[in-house]
């Protein structure tokens, strides 16, 4: 796939805001390209451009103020009927490694992509889901923490 590095960086940066995980941690999953490509394959390059443009605007308006950034993200992207569902899917991919079929309304308005069904991106994507480290756990069936570890207090702190 023709992948523009600058876009990939922007996608990564937006993902850090959506997930509250650092770029380092997100890259560490090894899934950045796979998730980027999944979005492009399903909604198309033009829509990906639109999303990243919107994010660029949000960032500019926020001017490094976190509160404004979060608010603008809701105004410009998450509440946008085209970009919102895609963005929520990006969050879900990071956390659990699956793409979920876009809502019916979205599909009616913006077209049904052939690949737009609910599926697990890959074995590794499932295993690298960020939901599990969030709750100091591991994906069922993988990355087992070792005998007896379950007996101790989990290392979880509020952010």
Under the rule (CB under 8 A), what is the footprint of another protein? 17-20, 70, 73-74, 78, 88, 91-92, 95-96, 98, 100, 118-120, 122-123, 126-127, 131-132, 134-138, 140-142, 144-154, 156, 158-159
Taking the C-alpha atoms of residue 12 and residue 52, their distance in angstroms, rounded to an integer, is 10
Taking the C-alpha atoms of residue 39 and residue 126, their distance in angstroms, rounded to an integer, is 17
Give the residue with the Cβ less far from another protein, 3 or 144: 144
| Residue 27 · residue 117 · CB < 8 Å | no
Closest distance to another protein from the beta carbon of 2 (Å): 27
Provide the token pair at 66.
């976190």
Closest distance to another protein from the beta carbon of 133 (Å): 10
Closest distance to another protein from the beta carbon of 149 (Å): 6
Closest distance to another protein from the beta carbon of 136 (Å): 7
Give the residue with the Cβ less far from another protein, 4 or 134: 134
Helices assigned H by DSSP within 20-127: 23-28, 32-43, 45-62, 66-72, 83-96, 104-110, 123-127
Taking the C-alpha atoms of residue 157 and residue 155, their distance in angstroms, rounded to an integer, is 7
Give the residue with the Cβ less far from another protein, 18 or 32: 18
Give the residue with the Cβ less far from another protein, 1 or 159: 159
């Amino acid at each position: 796939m023709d992948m523009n590095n600058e876009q990939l960086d922007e996608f990564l940066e937006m993902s850090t805001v959506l997930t509250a995980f650092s770029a380092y941690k997100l890259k560490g999953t090894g899934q950045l390209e796979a998730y980027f490509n999944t979005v492009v394959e399903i909604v198309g390059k033009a829509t990906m451009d639109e999303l990243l443009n919107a994010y660029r605007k949000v960032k500019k308006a926020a001017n490094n103020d976190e509160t404004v950034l979060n608010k603008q993200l809701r105004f410009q992207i998450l509440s946008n009927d085209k970009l919102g569902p895609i963005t929520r899917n990006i969050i879900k991919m990071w956390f659990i490694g699956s793409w979920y079929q876009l809502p019916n309304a979205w599909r009616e308005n913006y077209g049904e992509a052939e690949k737009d069904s609910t599926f697990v991106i890959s074995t590794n994507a499932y295993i690298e889901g960020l939901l599990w480290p969030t709750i100091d756990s591991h994906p069922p069936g993988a990355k087992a923490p070792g005998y007896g570890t379950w007996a101790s207090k989990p290392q979880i702190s509020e952010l």
